[in-house]
Amino acid sequence: MDPAEQRIEGPFGDHTGYYSLPVEYPVFHLTAVTRRREPLYPTIIVGRPPMEDYWLGKATERLFLPIIRMVLPEVVDMNMPAEGVFHNLVIVAVRKRYPGQVRKVMYGLWGLGLLMLAKNILVVDEWVNVHDLSEVTWRVTNNIDPARDLVLVEGPMDDLDHAALRHRYGGKLGIDATEKRAPLDQVGQSWPEEIRMSEEIRRRVTERWREYGLG
């Protein structure tokens, strides 16, 4: 585009919840305006999430998951929560079978289309419900050793990322929150078993609920 066709614009409100930074963007020239009776004007309201555009992003996530699994078959499920405004946080559950597989998934996602803009990729085990942010937070804060499980890289960033090193380029973080067990993972201590209530105990407690004075 001819430099004469560019100008500094901003601020405008965006889906990130912040006003856009002033940078050069293409402009268009309006030559005519037409209208009709009872018009329909398709638009959405954006701003600090969740807003209307979040549901478009969630639909895109569900539509593209099968395509992602064609390239990365170990991916079980993924979630891009509203708080991450699509590209700032991608939570992925993977079926881990060999050393380095989690990092392979991170790099693979960063190489897939607009997922190259993902700022944070958080990887959990296949049995973790990626849509339950409470469970994800519990797994992550328990399972990571920052000295071992954080991956820092640099690459393309979203056009609206105001925290990037510079416009459209910055750092990315990968977090391996999967369980680390020998011999698959080189760990210096054994990995504990998760506390789980048996079905028998659940049944007995349910049957005696009133007896405990709780019903």
Catalytic machinery residues: 14
Which pairs from 73-81 meet CB under 8 Å and 24+ separation? 74/101, 74/105, 75/105, 76/126, 77/130, 77/131, 78/130, 79/130, 79/131, 81/133
**Is residue 110 within 8 Å of residue 153, measured between CB atoms?**
yes
Indicate the DSSP class of residue 185: S
Sorted by sequence, the CB contacts under 8 Å of residue 55 that are 6+ apart come out as none
| Residue 19: strand pairing partners | 13
* Tokens describing residue 100: 């380095």
* Tokens describing residue 78: 């993924």
